[in-house]
Structure 1
Amino acid sequence: MAERRALVTGATGYIGSRLVPALLAQGWTVRVLTRTAEKVESRPWHDEVEISEGNADDEEDLRSAMSGVEVAYYLIHSMDGSGDFVERDRNLAKSFAQCAETQGVRRIVYLSGLYPPGEKLSTHLGSRKEVEDVFLDSAVPTAVLRAAVILGAGSASFEMLRHLTDRLPIMIAPKWLSTRIQPIAIQDVLRYLVKAAELPSEVNRGFDIGANEVLTYKDMIDRYAAVSRLAKRRVRTLPVMTPGLASHWIGLVTPVPSGIAKPLVGSLVHEVICKEHDIATYIPDPEGGFVSFDEAIRRALDGPQPIALRPDVDAENPGRISAADPQWAGMTVFIDEHRSTVDASPEQVWSQIEQLGGEHGWHVPDFLWRVRGLMDRAAGGQGHVARREPGPLHEGMKVDSWVVELVRPGESVWLRSRMKAPGVARMILSVESGSRPQQSVLTQQAEFTPAGLPGLTYWGGLWAGHKPTFAAMHRGLVRAAEDAAAGSLARPASH
């Protein structure tokens, strides 16, 4: 079988980071265009792809990247609106199309936004349409896939939905919450993108892509809340709220940057539903049907949320959060971190970490844990249990009111609280070598992932007590390790 080579631009972005492994799984030789090779070195597929360093606005770099390529994926979008992004995107698309023609690329695949024909579009959506027109008017056959809201953790559209719903049980919102939308899961988008590379050469057109359900944004909020087991959200819409004002509101309420929220809001002002389903002529609907809205939400919420625990892109479930996604994506995580240089070896510090709990305690007054345990009992929990299993730390081990979630012996341990709380609480302890012998660095992180407004209230209400408690625990660990190190130095060597 002849080698099939595809170029992926935007390979470190949300879509690109998931498309690359999907293409590799289908036997494609993949080349990625990136400004620096370091940007993709953290990806697990970096040694399976051809890396072409360069800029998409440099014709020589583009020609080099497209040499010997059959299909070129254009996944470049200006989302922050800085400068004249309309002209910049237009010029990038023209250069891309011209280089594709001169290098003999047989197809361009472009992921665009879904828009209503004949309406005055927002600036960003209008720019997307202009880019697709550039490609469709070029000499290279192009498949344009137009999608509305893409459902999957890490997708800016999904993250906006997630955080608005999680954080606001009652919201006064813009009238576009009543606009009809036809969302699609990231799994189905990737399937279309991969299959689009194999379209017949005479196909040069745009296709609307979406799943089977048409929902309003309010419907999506209600469905997300139901799947997440949150209380029903109460939404009231205002007749007047400009996209600019709404984007600032979203930037204030959620971690989604307002510069990213603005083009998303601008798109949601329009009714974005599929006007045709012609793509089924070339790419049949999936055998088991499209991923439903509720199932897409379940898949997006699957898996760990803390940044340090995020897995690489999951080929089986690309809808879950991944290490490739921005830090603001995923569930909100509050972190209290303490980091100290310790005059003790990493082994001596680790020994003190392994002794935590049970009769050795946590280096803080016991009454603090008893008070927290009483609060847990009042909420129906088991309270504070001062008992740990014997032996070295291992996954699943119970340490007082914690359970070991992950352990790398001698390096780090992740503890998850077993007490009742409106969210998930973790304690992460890690140790590494210091800058000189018999020195190490101890890092302690308390993390809390809140569940809705009750979780946000819980963290805020207990913060005044948590902060000094965590600080005292950290100081106690440092002191215990240094005392142990000093004791070992004071003992005479045996003969």
Structure 2
Amino acid sequence: MPELTHPTGREEALRAAPRDDGSAPRALVLGATGYIGGRLTPRLLNAGYRVRVLARDAARAASFPWGGDCEIVEGSADDADAVATAMDDVDVVYYLIHSMSAGKGFEESDERAATTVAEAAARAGVRRIVYLGGLHPDDAKLSPHLRSRVRVGEIFLQSGVPTLVLQAGVVIGSGSASFEMIRHLTDVLPYMPAPKWVRNRIQPIAVRDVLHYLLGAARVDADVNRAVDIGGPDVLRYGQMMNGYAVEAGLRQRAIAALPVLTPGLASHWVNLVTPVPRSIARPLVASLQNECIMKDHAVDELIPRPEDGLTPYRRAVDLALGRVRGDSIETSWQDSEVSGAPSDPLPSDPDWAGRTVFTDSRSVATRASAAELWRVILGIGGENGWYSSPLLWAVRGFMDRIVGGVGLRRGRRSRTAARVGDAIDFWRVEAVERTEAESLLRLRAEMKVPGEAWLELRAVPDGEGARYEQRAIFFPRGLSGRLYWLAVLPFHGLIFAGMAARITAAAEEAS
């Protein structure tokens, strides 16, 4: 595993307490491929836990740097059989699942999954459940997403298994949706017409401090069964958070005007248009800011000691996040969260296409560049590096996708130079990253709104002293609308796909 930033899990106060027989305790992580779970899991390993993860896609979990060090059980949190298997011989369960971008009925889905996990934990004799919930006031009407988080916490607290619910507000760290929303709003807009909630007080917390509390939660006394608030040392208004970011990023202070007419729905559309955060994620984030979210007390200090160097101030958290962005060393990102309703089935093998309607566009270009250099260019496609052809057409397609509620082209990518299974790259999802002596393959599955299912395959194949670039777009249309869609975009394929093939190979040759 790569070297981890603070906390690493090796801190004495966060180390795993051995079982009575001296063996290492086992931790089960649900949501291990998410933003927080992807960071917590390697730190649990460092802390001395035997770690098991429950993941919908075992291949995606295995692609993480820590994948080979964990036991992976494939399944979802609402699959009683998979959950029961995952719970066997477990001491502590981390529940880090949130339906941030789920559609209609997400509250029922959240409650069903939490109930399944709670009942399985009780039957298996689990010693502790740790749940990361949301910071919220007690005397206000909550948004549906925040209300759902509260309900999930209640289910665990009533399960009969000692539970610690850690309630956090805005999490600041490289790749967090909250940080990216602040970053892009401030970067793009010199003047910010904003909803009146920019005046609400908020207590942000650095992601490193969230991880500290999560690690420490496994060591609290066995009789603790309660919810506690966690937060950083600063209480700020949202406008102050934006201008605090501006200072750390070397930008001018932004003028911010609070407008009462911007409802959560309108504000989420606004965020959708000016930041990479899609409306499906922006809406719950915006809705959670409607109330003041500050810690009601510091009872958590009685259970988990603060970090040795103290909690991280807001501007320091921003500086750390910016450093990770500039250094292309973001561990996990909101970008890689699952998109509700997006196709998730893998590309069928070619023989399975028999009898089905399928459209393809295949290109092959020989290049003097080495296969290794060609692969480097392929692996960095998308995001800031672009798609090597017709930027205007790509931008228009991305804008169209955002308008109809898709993720759009500006979702970007976690890393500029590396890709792993499950990573998001603009409106694609990495389905396969394969390297053999015969070829290197990057396969992307479309997550834009299309009437069908689409994939894009890019290959680097050694060929004599150079290499051959192979590119294939595959589309399985859905009904008449899918066939009409393919015919409508067909005239643009010559510009887009031929241009991609030519410029990718040219970029590889130029770098050789």
Q: What is the TM-score when the length of structure 2 is the normalising length?
A: 0.65
- The yes-or-no answer on 1:3 pairing with 2:31 is no
Residues 1:176 and 1:340: Cα distance change in structure 2 (over 3 Å):
same
Please report how far the alpha carbon of residue 54 of structure 1 lies from its aligned counterpart in structure 2 after TM superposition.
1.2
Q: Which residue of 2 aligns with 1:408?
A: none
Please report how far the alpha carbon of residue 41 of structure 1 lies from its aligned counterpart in structure 2 after TM superposition.
2.2
Q: Which residue of 2 aligns with 1:96?
A: 117
| Matched residue type, 1:441 | Y
Residues 1:36 and 1:350: Cα distance change in structure 2 (over 3 Å):
closer
CA distance in 2, matches of 1:111, 1:298: 24
- The yes-or-no answer on 1:158 pairing with 2:179 is yes
- The yes-or-no answer on 1:185 pairing with 2:194 is no
Q: Which residue of 2 aligns with 1:176?
A: 197
CA distance in 2, matches of 1:295, 1:237: 26
RMSD: 3.4
CA distance in 2, matches of 1:349, 1:27: 37
| Matched residue type, 2:468 | S
8 Å Cα contact 1:17/1:324 also seen in 2: no
Residues 1:160 and 1:477: Cα distance change in structure 2 (over 3 Å):
closer
Provide, for residues 281-316 of structure 1, a one-character-per-residue CA deviation record: whole Å limited to 9, x for no partner.
Answer: 1212222111111111111011455xxx844xxxxx
Q: Which residue of 2 aligns with 1:250?
A: 271
8 Å Cα contact 1:341/1:434 also seen in 2: no
CA distance in 1, matches of 2:71, 2:500: 50
Q: Which residue of 2 aligns with 1:441?
A: 469
Q: Which residue of 2 aligns with 1:326?
A: 335
| Matched residue type, 1:180 | R
CA distance in 1, matches of 2:462, 2:286: 48
Matches within 5 A, 1:272-287: 272-287=293-308
Q: Which residue of 2 aligns with 1:294?
A: 315
- The yes-or-no answer on 1:105 pairing with 2:135 is no
Q: Which residue of 2 aligns with 1:260?
A: 281
Residues 1:266 and 1:348: Cα distance change in structure 2 (over 3 Å):
closer
Residues 1:175 and 1:69: Cα distance change in structure 2 (over 3 Å):
same
| Matched residue type, 1:50 | E
CA distance in 2, matches of 1:253, 1:5: 44
Q: Which runs of 5+ in 2 are unaligned?
A: 1-21, 338-361, 377-438, 440-457, 472-494
CA distance in 2, matches of 1:98, 1:291: 36
Residues 1:53 and 1:271: Cα distance change in structure 2 (over 3 Å):
same
Matches within 5 A, 1:376-415: none
Q: Which residue of 2 aligns with 1:220?
A: 241
Q: Which residue of 2 aligns with 1:72?
A: 93
Provide, for residues 203-224 of structure 1, a one-character-per-residue CA deviation record: whole Å limited to 9, x for no partner.
Answer: 0000100111100000001100
- The yes-or-no answer on 1:140 pairing with 2:149 is no
Residues 1:137 and 1:143: Cα distance change in structure 2 (over 3 Å):
same
| Matched residue type, 1:237 | A
Please report how far the alpha carbon of residue 322 of structure 1 lies from its aligned counterpart in structure 2 after TM superposition.
2.8
Other structure's SS at 2:281 match: helix
Q: How many percent of aligned residue pairs carry the same amino acid?
A: 47
8 Å Cα contact 2:132/2:168 also seen in 1: yes
| Matched residue type, 1:221 | M
| Matched residue type, 2:303 | Y
CA distance in 2, matches of 1:263, 1:158: 14
Please report how far the alpha carbon of residue 474 of structure 1 lies from its aligned counterpart in structure 2 after TM superposition.
6.2
Residues 1:153 and 1:350: Cα distance change in structure 2 (over 3 Å):
closer
8 Å Cα contact 1:43/1:324 also seen in 2: no
Residues 1:104 and 1:80: Cα distance change in structure 2 (over 3 Å):
same
CA distance in 1, matches of 2:224, 2:508: 70
8 Å Cα contact 1:59/1:95 also seen in 2: yes
Residues 1:477 and 1:77: Cα distance change in structure 2 (over 3 Å):
closer
CA distance in 2, matches of 1:26, 1:478: 47
Other structure's SS at 2:270 match: helix
Residues 1:264 and 1:479: Cα distance change in structure 2 (over 3 Å):
closer
8 Å Cα contact 1:350/1:431 also seen in 2: no
CA distance in 2, matches of 1:170, 1:96: 46
CA distance in 2, matches of 1:81, 1:290: 32
Please report how far the alpha carbon of residue 112 of structure 1 lies from its aligned counterpart in structure 2 after TM superposition.
0.3
CA distance in 2, matches of 1:346, 1:53: 40
Residues 1:435 and 1:38: Cα distance change in structure 2 (over 3 Å):
farther
| Matched residue type, 1:440 | R
CA distance in 1, matches of 2:319, 2:100: 27
Residues 1:234 and 1:201: Cα distance change in structure 2 (over 3 Å):
same
Q: Which residue of 1 aligns with 2:417?
A: none
Q: Which residue of 2 aligns with 1:59?
A: 80
8 Å Cα contact 1:101/1:139 also seen in 2: yes
- Tell me how many residue pairs correspond in the alignment: 362
| Matched residue type, 1:287 | E
| Matched residue type, 1:137 | Q
Please report how far the alpha carbon of residue 433 of structure 1 lies from its aligned counterpart in structure 2 after TM superposition.
2.4
Q: Which residue of 1 aligns with 2:71?
A: 50
Q: Which runs of 5+ in 1 are unaligned?
A: 312-320, 329-338, 354-410, 412-429, 444-466, 482-495
CA distance in 2, matches of 1:36, 1:216: 39
Q: 2:252 aligns with which of 231, 245, 256?
A: 231
Residues 1:479 and 1:4: Cα distance change in structure 2 (over 3 Å):
closer
CA radius of gyration, larger in: 1
CA distance in 2, matches of 1:160, 1:136: 32
Residues 1:346 and 1:275: Cα distance change in structure 2 (over 3 Å):
same
